[in-house]
């Protein structure tokens, strides 16, 4: 029923436009083709000029109304550089946009058809062609240069003291892994993946380095003002780790780990206060179509203080222990004291 209604509306619109066009032809015949053309030409020239003025005012108004309100301040050091690059790009392209649009609409108004003026044909000019080829080439080279510099900073070597988190995409969610006390990620093999037995990543349990690795799907924890390096993987198809608040994104490719690093500037609690949103959370989105559940692939990032991170890590059970409960050590006063001392040490 709705399809028929849409078709009927389109047909009606076509008939209305057709009738208006026919009526215009009849009016032109009555008034005279020449006089009608001149009147329409002046009206269209004025409307183009008005459209230019109103359009530029609209662009400025939208910029002032939404500036800084869509994404807010970049929440990472690399994010600041990305924003700077975007501002430079917008400044260069904005200048070109304003100049070309003003000339376009002004020329359409100023040089509208007139019998008193003869059209001038300008087929070739080497100097102009060199100018409008070389100047854009230089501008684009500068922009690409900025992009390459920032790209190599983001994907280059992280500082030696950076926290390392492995993030793995799957249909349709994220898995986070942290190295244990040995600070070494254990080996894994894709044929070992068995969610029913608590092995989401296919860790090789015989590898001692894998037995203290922390694996979680709840949220990814980072320490404020401390570099974090992400090792990005995929368990099935191509995903993309998008972190809009940090201005970061990187593909998650099956069998080909990728890396990025940055330093978070604000804790989650600080962002709640800055944005005035008590429910604020840093989010991870999948920025690559990955299947029918792609829309639901949302992850959460918790940026916390060093003490909060240490306390959270101390409360986590290694994936090996969760998959093999019989391997868990018996809890005792020493474990509790260890958690408290770790949290206290990070506060000083």
pLDDT for 173 equals 94
To the nearest whole percent, how much of the chain has pLDDT over 90?
44
pLDDT for 51 equals 85
Query: Starting from the edge strand earliest in sequence, which strands make up the sheet with 220-223, in order?
Result: 220-223, 298-304, 282-286, 239-243, 248-252
Distance of CA 222 to the CA centre of its chain: 20
pLDDT for 223 equals 97
97-101, 133-137, 326-330, range with the lowest pLDDT: 326-330
**Rounded Cα–Cα distance for residues 286 and 90 (Å):** 26
> Does residue 331 carry a pLDDT above 70?
no
Task: Band the pLDDT of 335: cuts 50, 70, 90.
Answer: very low
- The closest alpha carbon to 318, from 308, 303, 305, 328, belongs to 328
pLDDT for 50 equals 86
Q: How confident is the model over 77-106, as a mean pLDDT?
A: 88
Task: Band the pLDDT of 328: cuts 50, 70, 90.
Answer: low
pLDDT for 65 equals 83
**Three-state secondary-structure class, residue 32:** coil
333-347 and 306-315 helices, crossing angle to 10° = 160
Q: How confident is the model over 309-331, as a mean pLDDT?
A: 84
Per-position DSSP letters for 240-258, written without gaps between them: EEEEGGGTEEEEEBBTB-E
Q: How confident is the model over 151-164, as a mean pLDDT?
A: 88
Pick the more confident residue, 95 or 18. 95
pLDDT for 109 equals 82
b (16+ CB within 10 A) / e for 242-255: bbbbbbbbbebbee
Task: Band the pLDDT of 336: cuts 50, 70, 90.
Answer: very low
Domain boundaries, the chain: 22-114+123-155, 163-326+336-347
pLDDT for 38 equals 66
**Rounded Cα–Cα distance for residues 217 and 316 (Å):** 12
Pick the more confident residue, 108 or 301. 301
> Does residue 156 carry a pLDDT above 60?
yes
pLDDT for 310 equals 93
Among 84-98, 114-128, 220-234, top mean pLDDT goes to: 220-234
Task: Band the pLDDT of 339: cuts 50, 70, 90.
Answer: very low
Average pLDDT, the chain: 85
Per-position DSSP letters for 66-123, written without gaps between them: HTTTSS-S-SBHHHHHHHHHHHHHHHHHHHHHHHHHHHHHHHHHHT---TTS------
pLDDT in tens, 256-290: 999 999 999 999 999 999 888 899 999 999 999 99
Whether 28 and 39 have beta carbons less than 8 Å apart is answered as: no
pLDDT for 45 equals 78
For residue 254, the cross-strand partners are: 234
Pick the more confident residue, 338 or 98. 98
Whether 262 and 248 have beta carbons less than 8 Å apart is answered as: yes
Q: Is the pTM of this model over 0.85?
A: no
> Does residue 161 carry a pLDDT above 70?
yes
**Rounded Cα–Cα distance for residues 282 and 246 (Å):** 9
Task: Band the pLDDT of 246: cuts 50, 70, 90.
Answer: very high
37-46, 83-92, 98-107, 297-306, range with the lowest pLDDT: 37-46
CATH code of domain 163-326+336-347: 2.60.40.420
Sign of CA dihedral 320, 324, 325, 326: negative
pLDDT for 29 equals 57
**Rounded Cα–Cα distance for residues 291 and 294 (Å):** 5
To the nearest whole percent, how much of the chain has pLDDT over 70?
87
Structure tokens, 19: 């009738």
Task: Band the pLDDT of 8: cuts 50, 70, 90.
Answer: confident
**Three-state secondary-structure class, residue 289:** coil
């Amino acid at each position: 029923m709705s399809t028929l209604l849409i078709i009927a509306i389109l047909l009606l619109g076509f008939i209305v436009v057709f009738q208006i066009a026919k009526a215009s032809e009849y009016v032109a015949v009555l008034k005279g083709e020449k006089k009608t053309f001149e009147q329409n030409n002046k009206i269209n020239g004025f409307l183009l000029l008005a459209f230019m003025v109103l359009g530029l005012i609209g662009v400025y108004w939208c910029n002032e109304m939404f500036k800084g309100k869509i994404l807010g301040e970049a929440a990472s050091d690399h994010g600041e550089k990305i924003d700077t690059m975007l501002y430079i790009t917008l400044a260069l392209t904005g200048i070109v946009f304003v100049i070309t649009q003003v000339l376009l609409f002004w020329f359409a108004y100023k040089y509208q058809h007139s019998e008193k003026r003869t059209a001038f044909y300008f087929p070739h000019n080497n100097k102009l062609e060199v100018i409008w080829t070389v100047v854009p080439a230089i501008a684009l080279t500068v922009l690409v240069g900025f992009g390459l510099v920032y790209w190599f900073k983001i994907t280059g070597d992280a500082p030696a003291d950076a926290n390392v988190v492995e993030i793995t995409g799957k249909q349709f969610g994220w898995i986070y892994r942290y190295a244990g006390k040995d600070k070494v990620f254990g080996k894994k093999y894709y044929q070992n993946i068995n969610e029913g037995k608590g092995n989401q990543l296919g860790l090789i349990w015989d590898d001692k380095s894998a037995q203290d690795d922390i694996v979680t799907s709840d949220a990814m924890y980072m320490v404020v003002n401390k570099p974090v390096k992400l090792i990005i993987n995929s368990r099935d198809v191509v995903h993309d780790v998008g972190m809009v608040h940090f201005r970061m994104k990187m593909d998650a490719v099956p069998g080909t780990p990728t890396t990025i690093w940055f330093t978070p500037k604000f804790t989650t609690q600080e962002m709640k206060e800055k944005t005035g949103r008590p429910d604020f959370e840093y989010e991870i989105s999948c920025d690559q179509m990955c299947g029918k559940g792609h829309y639901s692939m949302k992850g959460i990032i918790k940026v916390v203080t060093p003490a909060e991170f240490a306390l959270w890590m101390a409360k986590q059970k290694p994936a090996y222990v969760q998959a093999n409960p019989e391997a868990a050590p018996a809890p005792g006063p020493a474990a509790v004291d260890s958690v408290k001392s770790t949290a206290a040490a990070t506060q000083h």
